[in-house]
Chain A
Amino acid sequence: MISFISIYYQRVLNMLLEHFLLVFLSVLISFLLAIGISALIRKRKKITAAVLILFIAIYCIPSLALFSFLIPLLGLGKVTAVTALILYNQAYLIRSILSGFDSISPSVREISHSMGLGRFYSLWYVEIPLALPLILNGLKVATVSTSGIAVIASLVDAGGLGVLLFEGMRTHNFVKIVWGILLIASFTLFLNWILGRWEQRASENAKGYAKKNDTKRR
């Protein structure tokens, strides 16, 4: 076990980095796209419902099927993988962004409008901080699921930790399989932990627990 990693650590490190970049890039683009789509559809209920159904339908397509559907269009490689991962993420991200903003109490919204802060400041100081916990929860789940599906993306030549796992499976190399599983699982759990902490902070902030000024009253 140990000798394997001491020989191949350079290659494994590259795979890990590749995996990270794949996940990071997919999640970043997905998130920006989801924000744009949410902003566009937010005020229109019927369109919102239609868009969500569309992305949920896409989410239901098995990843191998979606990859093989995209290969004729985009070829093998990272572009196909990232495109598929972005498509998968939309359902969860859009829903969490919308429910984040919907969770703001109508009276808070009404007051922030009535103060004449303007659209930008009202979003920046009031609505985004209050919507953030739910949005980050969506981001966390999307990231974890992206990290999982990215493993399968190695089958379309996208690289990443999946390469290690599938190599091991093809060559019946037990040590490789175990290392693959260990690295994928611990990397994904790490992402889950980091984003979970961020979500926790945002949630404390939104509820007014940000400053520790009230040890007595708590």
Chain B
Amino acid sequence: MQPFIEFQHVRKQHEKAANPIIEDLSFTVKKHDFVTVLGSSGSGKTTILKMINRLIEPTDGKILLDGQDIMKAEVNALRRRIGYVIQQIGLFPHLTAKENIALLPRCLKQNKDQTDKRVDELLSLVQLEPKIFRDRYPRQLSGGQQQRVGIARALINHPDLLLFDEPFGALDVNTRSQLQKEILEIHRQLGTTVLFVTHDLQEAFSLGDKVMIVEKGKIQRYDSPQKILLDPSTNTVGTFALGSTVQRMMMLKPLDIADSFVSGDKGPSLAVEGITMDHIISIFIQQEDVSTIILTQDGLPTYTIRRSKILGGEKP
């Protein structure tokens, strides 16, 4: 299948800078994938994102979106099919939530009634009651609510690509994890391709179908969270410390490390729904004689999780 985004030997260097921000970068993203780009500040991760909607233009190389060279597209037409959400949110303070979301259709002279309907749909999608929030100004919204409006605004023109630049970086922990869940749900419902930049390890691994670890303008690793985290040789990627085995397991979902059940497996059983990695790990740590946990689905044993996988082979 043709990749949805393709970087071909992309380089970005500012005129006066000694070193390029991005050095010979090539990668592809499949349609409908949720890719997180993980890097510390100055790694070039935001530059990668901004090159896709041409807020920054590459010095060398080619970027293809859906097979088309983005430098050959009309810049505004390109940007209208890409939703963009940033940490500072950038809501227009003089416009209500509805006006913020509907600004693009208004400029494109689209049907007003349809736009109004779509605005309400989007507000509901981001868990804001349209009746209450439609006519509020940004100053009347909390940080989390503002970011929800920001996400709804990015979705207005049915984009086939969403770019997130550390969207939840400024939010408190509870709001952030709530929004993380919602963004996954939105991705599941709409199937939009997502590129999500973050410096937060946990966020990168819990959200992404694939994680791209970037450092000094180069890709250090680009793989699924399972492959990266279950690989014992990757305690660090570049200078990024991924932590101990247990810490890495904590970033996975139980099913990522489960094997299918074979008769003969013994151990305490847990239901598949509602179990968390914390739960599983705390059982292994507290009860030293447990070597296997059986996950049940509808009362039937379906998967097993072995102690050796999580605690790194301390017990067979």
User: How far apart sit A56 and B126, CA to CA, in the bound complex (Å)?
Assistant: 52
Interface residue stretch chosen among B86-94, B188-196, B220-228, B229-237: B86-94
0/1 interface trace, chain A 104-115, chain B, CB 8 Å (1 if under): 010110111111
Taking the closest CB of chain B, its distance from the CB of A86, in whole angstroms, is 31
Counting residue pairs across A and B whose Cβ atoms lie within 8 Å, the total is: 79
> In the complex, which residues of chain B have a beta carbon less than 8 angstroms from the beta carbon of A209?
137
**Which A residues between 110 and 135 are near B, CB-CB below 8 angstroms?**
110-118, 121, 125-126, 129-130
> In the complex, which residues of chain A have a beta carbon less than 8 angstroms from the beta carbon of B104?
115-117
Taking the closest CB of chain A, its distance from the CB of B164, in whole angstroms, is 12
- Verify if B139 is at the interface (C-beta below 8 Å from A): yes
- Verify if A205 is at the interface (C-beta below 8 Å from B): yes
- Verify if A207 is at the interface (C-beta below 8 Å from B): yes
> In the complex, which residues of chain A have a beta carbon less than 8 angstroms from the beta carbon of B1?
none
- Are A114 and B53 interface neighbours, CB within 8 A? yes
- Verify if B136 is at the interface (C-beta below 8 Å from A): yes
> In the complex, which residues of chain A have a beta carbon less than 8 angstroms from the beta carbon of B91?
108
> In the complex, which residues of chain A have a beta carbon less than 8 angstroms from the beta carbon of B89?
107
- Are B80 and A129 interface neighbours, CB within 8 A? no
- Are B140 and A118 interface neighbours, CB within 8 A? no
- Verify if A156 is at the interface (C-beta below 8 Å from B): no
| Interface pairs A-B: 6 shortest CB-CB | A208-B137, A116-B79, A107-B88, A111-B90, A107-B90, A116-B80
Residues of A whose CB lies within 8 Å of any CB of B are 105, 107-108, 110-118, 121, 125-126, 129-130, 205-211, 213-214, 217
Sample 23 A-B pairs with CB under 8 A, ordered by A number: A107-B86, A107-B89, A108-B93, A110-B55, A111-B92, A112-B92, A113-B55, A114-B82, A115-B79, A115-B80, A115-B84, A116-B78, A117-B107, A125-B103, A125-B106, A125-B107, A126-B103, A130-B94, A207-B139, A208-B93, A208-B95, A208-B140, A217-B140
